[in-house]
Structure 1
Amino acid sequence: MAITGIILGVVVLLVLAPVVAAVVYRLVVVRRDSTSVLVKRNGGDAWRHGAVRYSDTDLAFYRLLSVRFGADVRLDRTSLELGPRRQPTGHELDVAESGELIVSFSGHDRRGGIREGEICVGPAELTALLAWVEACSTDQVRSPARRRR
């Protein structure tokens, strides 16, 4: 009976350790070098807490409490389009901070699928996002076949 309990404890530990490590990674490492946001997919009614990171080529979204080590969604920088801004309304006022704005977006993920939704950010974070999108270089916009050698 004692051996069964020890084996069961080891199995539970082996299963839970990676899950706990992934959650701690999200809460500590990802949030340290990222921007906190709320994101909602088109057609969905739930806002997801998370963080975004910008790179030269894409925007990576990490859900706050996911068990994945990598990004949940990556949107290609050259395909990302931001739509009109609006103030939160109705139940959105319960999750949005004072002064935050909601912006619709559309872009291609790594598999070439189109992702559409809304992102809720503060004014400073929106300025950073707009600057990042607008600063996309001409070389990044051109397809590799059209680039001069």
Structure 2
Amino acid sequence: MAIPGIILGVVVLLVLAPVAAAVVYRLVVVRRNSTSVLVRRDGEDSWRHGAVRYSDTDLAFYRLVSVRFGADVRLDRRSLELGPRRQPTGHELDIAESGELIVSFAGRDRRRGIREGELCVGPAELTALLAWVEACSTDQIRSADQFRSADQFRSADRRRR
């Protein structure tokens, strides 16, 4: 009878260890290198706590508690559009901190689907987001193939020297 209990314990440990690792990763690593936000998708009433990270090509959203190591949603920088800003109203006042604003957004994800919703962010975070979006130039964003071609060119150039 002890052997099945040990096997069950090992199986539970093998299942729970990656889940716990993913949650700790989100709470420690992602939060440290990102901006905290509240997000509400179009058509939903509830807000989700999370974090966003900016890169050269996209905005990655991570739900605060999730079992995924990667981003839950990535929006292409070139397609991201920010709508009008507004003050929180009604039940939004219960979750928004003093001075935070709500801004609507729309953008394409990696599957080319359109994602729409609202972000609740502080004034400094909104300024950073606006600057990041406005600084985007289609000439600055190159595809992965172009990066590979440039890397191959540099490698070939080094070999010639």
Structure 2 contact 78–138 (Cα < 8 Å) conserved? no
Amino acid at match of 1:103: V
What CA RMSD, in Å, does the superposition of the two structures yield over aligned residues?
1.4
* TM-score (normalised: structure 2): 0.86
- Number of corresponding residues: 143
> Which residue does the alignment assign to 1:77?
77
Distance in 1, Cα, partners of 2:142 & 2:16: 45
Residue 14 in structure 1 maps to residue 7 in structure 2: no
What residue number does 1:87 align with?
A: 87
**Residue of structure 2 equivalent to 1:146:** none
Name stretches of at least 5 consecutive residues in structure 1 with no aligned partner: 144-149
Matched residues in 1 for 2:141 and 2:63: separation? 28
Runs of 4+ in 1 over 3 A off after TM superposition: 140-143
Letter paired with 2:60:
A
What is the CA–CA distance in structure 1 between the aligned matches of 2:90 and 2:69, rounded to whole Å?
A: 34
Hey, what does 2:157 align to over in structure 1?
none
How does the TM-score come out when normalised to structure 1? 0.93
How far, CA to CA, are the matches of 2:142 and 2:24 in structure 1? 39
Change (3 A) 1:86 1:138: same
Where does residue 55 of structure 2 map in the other structure?
Answer: 55
The answer on whether the counterparts of 1:78 and 1:140 sit within 8 Å (CA) in structure 2 is no
- The percent identity for this pair of structures is 90
